[in-house]
Amino acid sequence: MTDPVSKLSQAIRDVKNASADREDVVVELREASRTRLELLAAELADVIADIPEDNPQFDFAVSSGLQPRLWIDATAHVAMGRDKRAYRFVRDSRVGRVVLAESTEMKPVVDQITRYVAERIVERQRMLDGIAEPLPKPVAAENAEPARIVSATPSREGSWGAFFSGLTLVLLGAVAGATAILAWLWDKFPAALTP
C-alpha cells in the first residue's frame, strides 16, 4: 500500500515543477520581447543620433517589467503585440491609446517612428517660435496601413447635437419618473384632489 504522505509530497513536487516550467516560459517570452525591442532601438540609432541635443523630449529606452516597452517619449512607445511577433507603436492621448503603426516587419514601424519624431521636433520648434497653427495631417504612403486615430476634438455640430440629445433624455426620464411616482402614490392622495 502506498503511503498517502508520499503521494501528497509527489503531487506537491509535480505542481512546483509545472509552475516553474510555466514561469520559465513567461520569462523566456519576456526576454524575447525585450531582445526584439532592443533590435528595433538599434535600427533607430541613426534617428536617435540626428536628434538635436537641446531637445530633451525623447527617451529611447527599453523598460523592463511584465511587458517590455521601447519608450519614444513620455506618451509614445513600442510594445510587442499579443503574438509577440508584431511591433505595436502606440501613443497615449486624452481620448485613449492610438495605434500609430502595427506590423510584424520592422521597417514600417521604424519609418512611422521616424515620422513621429520629426513631427514632434517641428511641433516643438513651432511652439518655441510662437506659431500656434497645427501641422497638416500626413499623407499615408502607398503601402502603409492607415493609423487608427481617434479624433481628440469633436466637431461643434456634433457637440451641440450630443448636448440636445442628452437634454432630451434627461427630460424624458424626469417625465417618466414623475408619472411612475404619481401612479404609485395615487391612492394616497386625498379624495378632494382626485376627480
What are 119-163's pLDDT values in tens digits? 989 888 888 888 766 666 655 554 555 555 444 444 555 677 888
- 87 and 78 in contact (C-beta within 8 Å)? yes
By mean pLDDT, which of 7-11, 15-19, 182-186 is the weakest? 15-19
**Cell 501641422 sits at which residue?**
135
Average pLDDT over residues 50-76: 86
Beta strands (DSSP E) in 29-184 are 58-63, 69-73, 76-80, 87-93, 96-103
In 43-155 the beta strands, taken as DSSP E runs, fall at 58-63, 69-73, 76-80, 87-93, 96-103
Q: Is the pLDDT of residue 6 over 70?
A: yes
Mean pLDDT to the nearest integer, 10-23: 73
Residue 89: its pLDDT value, please? 93
User: What is the per-residue pLDDT for 151?
Assistant: 41
In angstroms, the Cα distances linking 37 to 71, 83, 117, 150, 163 are 10, 14, 17, 26, 45
Mean pLDDT of 25-40: 79
Question: pLDDT value at position 132?
Answer: 66
Angle 99-101-106 from CA coordinates, rounded to 5°: 145
* Angstrom distance (rounded) from CA 152 to CA 182: 44
pTM score, whole prediction = 0.56
Strand partners, 71: 61, 77
Phi and psi at 74, nearest 5°, equal -70, -20
Give the separation between CA 19 and CA 62, rounded to whole angstroms: 28
The angle, 0 to 180 degrees and rounded to 10, between the axes of the packed helices 106-129 and 4-43 is 60
Would you kindly state where each structural domain of the chain is located, as residue ranges? 4-129, 156-188
